[in-house]
Amino acid sequence: MISLGFPYALIALPFPVLVWWLFPPRREQVSALRFPFFRRVVDLSGSEARSGSIILRRSGLQMIVAVLVWTLLILAMARPERVGAPIQKQQAARDVVMAIDISGSMDAVDFNAADGVRLQRLAGVRQVVDDFVAEREGDRMALIVFGSKAYVQAPLTEDLITIRELLDQTEVGMAGPHTALGDAIGLAIRTFDASDIQQRLLILLSDGTDTASRMSPVNAAEIARDRGIEIYTIGVGDPDATGEDKVDLRTLRDIAARTGGQYFFAEDGDGLRSVYDRIDQLAPRETETLSYRPRQSLAWMPLILAGMLVLLTTLFLTGGLVRRGRRT
């Protein structure tokens, strides 16, 4: 389908007629001055002296070409374009940040896989999180890892393949041996600053007590709540453990409650998968449909045609094939 991107330009089509009608050529008769050697000049030029002046008239060809060129120029200004079939694209109206604990306690081998084999906590978590990320097609996601300090592995992006690859490359202790829950939440808040989407979800997965944050996890959660961020906390590991390996369930519950999120505890792979399913039910993904038509500009066609008309007409007239005038 062909359409005009700026159809209002067609209003200019009758402008030359209006100018010719409102401002006609000025005509007047004035006395001429004949100098003494006028006859000699006429004889030398080989022409015949007559009264009046000669005004060249435009030929019919010139008028037709002028009208066509003006029409083509206005048509180019109207921006003709070929409009393709509508293309629809659905994208999620939600941004998700995953903050994963990779502190030293995640090295404990007590995570039950689906086949009953005990895995390192981080290795087991990676398997389940990888499946979860793969199913987030359409969502924008970011990945944060934290230990003694928190780091952004991937900012908000739709490139989920890269996030899965970065997650696969994480190792226990890369961010330090301790656990900085509050700093991880604070870094997630700053990551969401680049988002203008209303639905913001932070999934915080940890197996330890906060031991290294500069900001209290509860205070960070209150700031997240004020920014419209929901936090879903997931505890993994042995709830009966002590020391650095102890899971601070109370803090994780408090963080989730202050932001309107939920707290979960997952002891094994199946439990963690059910947690993610539950999160999808509690915070269903909102989508928006974008529709657009591909457009290809055709304005160059009338411009080239107008240029060719002017060039051919000029060559034709200067070649002496058409030249007329009238005497007034």
pTM over 0.75: no
Mean pLDDT of the chain: 81
Whether 95 and 140 have beta carbons less than 8 Å apart is answered as yes
pLDDT at 97: 92
Residue type, 290: L
* Domain topology for 89-289: Rossmann fold (3.40.50)
How is the chain split into domains, by residue range? Answer: 2-24+35-85+294-327, 89-289
Q: How far is CA 120 from CA 25, 55, 109, 112, 123, in A?
A: 95, 100, 4, 9, 5
Going by pLDDT thresholds of 50, 70 and 90, the confidence category of residue 51 is low
Going by pLDDT thresholds of 50, 70 and 90, the confidence category of residue 323 is very low
Q: Is pLDDT at 179 greater than 80 in this prediction?
A: yes
Could you tell me which of 244, 261, 299, 266 has the C-alpha nearest to residue 77? 299
Q: Is pLDDT at 26 greater than 90 in this prediction?
A: no
pLDDT at 287: 59
Q: How far is CA 323 from CA 64, 66, 111, 241, 319, in A?
A: 15, 16, 97, 106, 9
Q: Stretch 97-119: mean pLDDT, rounded?
A: 82
Residue type, 33: L
Q: Report helix, strand and coil shares of the chain as percent, to nearest 5.
A: 40, 25, 35
Q: Stretch 62-77: mean pLDDT, rounded?
A: 90
